[in-house]
């Protein structure tokens, strides 16, 4: 089993270019099947989730070429309108293809994505919205069959500003008849990037970034080229690494406004932060201040994806901090692994109480999910002694090369393949 080996104690110095956004590129790749032509995506990160998404595009009939961080998708011929079980199982967020496949072919079939390490991952909001828009949906034995009866103009009110459900509706409604308005839409930057991409292909969408998105369906799309936005959670990971390990780093090719909820907390922790149009500089504090309470919320609130990474920072704070996880049911598992390193964290339901300790100690730990792996790396950079982080496959889903990036910044870190 591969693992990442870290000898803690090196402060981080230097600059780093941040990868393209996983959570922007996945729905954008799905959207390319709406264009019966060729689409070029730049700044496409090389992640296992991206590789699975490309496998699905090929299964649907697309021809794909990858040249460094550019992916060229030829979606002239779509020959399948379903996603096989084995591909659905590889990545639950494949549900994002549903709206696009129905819009392109009139029907779609796929298995329920099922839960993941973060707990149950229901898709009721996706299905309810598509039904409202005229899609007939039959569910049996874990399989979902969709058929577009007659697209109806409609308003979709999301009970929760679900990122995936918002994206699925945008993909479906953009290439259909009629006008669709989404109320209580997710406001994440990835939604804005998807609107930008769809409009570059000829869609007529406005409002992304706000809670109300208006979509006027069009009959067809045309070829385009798009540059994927930077990954705000990857950026947050490196900033948290610098605060935990000490030192000062500069991130390039980022959109600081996309992770201002994270930099605001890190400033409260005592870090010195300066941001430019596409850069972010951070200098670690001598002592990390505790944070009374952090609540994870939909954007622009504090992102759940940065929760466990921030927990690693607060494990070393001077005092007791509280984190309330409002988005996912099981996103505190990292606390148990951090405890192996000497962290003092008590979890009760949605609340984690983090009593800062002077030092963490290197240990053998296991990533529980994608961001948990990143959080353990952040903690290991600061710990005394050597850590080994297993379950690296989780980390590979969202980071091109977490160990190479931290190595570039001076960490004593390597990936052991065995
Ligand atoms: C996206 O997941 C991201 N994934 C997640 O990032 C991120 O944590 C999440 O948004 C929240 O920001 C991608 O973009 C690929 P949601 P998504 O639908 O779309 C409930 C990472 O680490 N819900 O906004 O699945 C759901 O159970 C990953 O990069 C329903 O109840 O998130 C959860 O509690 C992890 N019914 C909450 O809403 C539904 O139909 C947020 O889910 C859909 C969601």
Q: What is the pLDDT of residues 238-293, one digit of tens each?
A: 999 999 999 999 999 999 999 999 999 999 999 999 999 999 999 999 999 999 99
Q: What's the pLDDT score for residue 99? A: 97
Q: What's the pLDDT score for residue 60? A: 98
Element (H, E) at 243: helix 232-245
Q: What's the pLDDT score for residue 141? A: 83
Residue with tokens 């709406």: 34
Q: Is 116 a catalytic residue?
A: yes
Q: What's the pLDDT score for residue 118? A: 79
Task: Locate all alpha helices (DSSP H) within 275-417, ordered by sequence.
Answer: 307-314, 334-340, 370-382, 392-398, 402-408
Distance of CA 164 from the midpoint of ligand 1 (Å): 6
How is residue 107 written in tokens? 């029907």
The closest residue, in CA terms, to atom 18 on ligand 1 is 162
How is residue 140 written in tokens? 């049996």
Atom number of ligand 1 nearest to Cα 299: 12
Please report the beta strands in 10-52, taking only residues with DSSP state E, as ranges in sequence order: 12-17, 38-42
Q: Residue 227, Cα to own-chain centre: how many angstroms?
A: 17
Q: What's the pLDDT score for residue 18? A: 98
Distance of CA 37 from the midpoint of ligand 1 (Å): 30
- Cα angle value 298/288/237 (rounded, 5°): 45
Q: What's the pLDDT score for residue 140? A: 84
**137, 163, 309: residue to mutate for ligand 1 pocket, most atoms within 8 A of CB:** 163
Tell whether pTM > 0.95.
yes
Q: Is the peptide bond before 300 cis (omega within 30 degrees of 0)?
A: yes
Q: Which residues contact 397 (CB under 8 A, 6 or more apart)?
A: 22, 47, 48, 49, 91, 370
Residues with pLDDT less than 50, the chain: none
Q: Spot the catalytic one: 44, 62, 116, 224.
A: 116
Q: Is 190 exposed, middle or buried (0-12, 13-18, 19+ CB in 10 A)?
A: buried
Q: What's the pLDDT score for residue 167? A: 98
């Amino acid at each position: 089993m591969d693992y990442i080996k870290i000898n803690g104690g090196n402060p981080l110095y230097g600059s780093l270019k941040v990868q393209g956004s996983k959570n922007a590129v996945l729905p954008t790749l799905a959207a390319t099947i709406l264009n019966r032509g060729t689409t070029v995506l730049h700044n496409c990160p090389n992640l296992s989730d991206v590789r699975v998404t490309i496998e699905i595009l090929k299964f649907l009939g697309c021809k794909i070429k990858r040249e460094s961080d550019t992916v060229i998708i030829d979606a002239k011929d779509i020959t399948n309108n379903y996603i096989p079980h084995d591909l659905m199982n590889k990545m639950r967020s494949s549900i994002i293809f549903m709206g696009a496949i129905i819009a392109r072919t009139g029907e779609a079939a796929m298995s329920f994505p099922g839960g993941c390490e973060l707990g149950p991952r229901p898709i009721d909001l996706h299905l309810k919205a598509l039904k409202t828009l005229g899609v007939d949906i039959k569910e049996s034995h874990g399989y979902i069959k969709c058929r577009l009866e007659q697209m109806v103009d409609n308003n979709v009110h999301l009970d929760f500003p679900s990122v995936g459900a918002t994206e699925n509706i945008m993909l479906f409604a953009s290439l259909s008849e009629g006008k669709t308005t989404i109320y209580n839409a997710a406001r994440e930057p990835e939604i804005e990037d998807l609107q930008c991409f769809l409009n570059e292909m000829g869609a007529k969408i406005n409002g992304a970034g706000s809670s109300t998105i208006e979509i006027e369906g069009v009959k067809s799309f045309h070829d385009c080229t798009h540059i994927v936005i930077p990954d705000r959670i990857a950026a947050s990971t490196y900033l948290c690494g610098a605060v935990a390990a000490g030192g000062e780093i500069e991130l390039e090719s980022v959109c600081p406004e996309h992770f201002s909820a994270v930099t605001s907390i890190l400033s409260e922790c005592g870090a010195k932060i300066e941001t430019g149009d596409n850069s972010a500089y951070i200098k670690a504090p001598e002592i990390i201040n505790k944070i009374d309470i952090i609540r994870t919320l939909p954007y622009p609130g504090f992102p759940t994806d940065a929760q466990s990474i921030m927990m690693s920072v607060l494990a070393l704070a001077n005092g007791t901090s509280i984190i309330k996880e409002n988005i996912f049911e099981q996103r505190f598992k990292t606390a148990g692994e951090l405890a192996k390193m000497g962290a003092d964290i008590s979890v009760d339901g949605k609340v984690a109480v983090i009593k800062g300790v002077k030092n963490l100690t290197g240990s053998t730990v296991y990533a529980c999910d994608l961001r948990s792996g990143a959080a353990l790396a952040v903690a290991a950079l600061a710990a005394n002694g050597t850590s080994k982080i297993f379950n690296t496959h989780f980390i590979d889903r969202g980071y091109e090369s977490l160990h190479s990036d931290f190595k570039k910044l001076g960490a004593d870190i390597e990936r052991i393949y065995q």
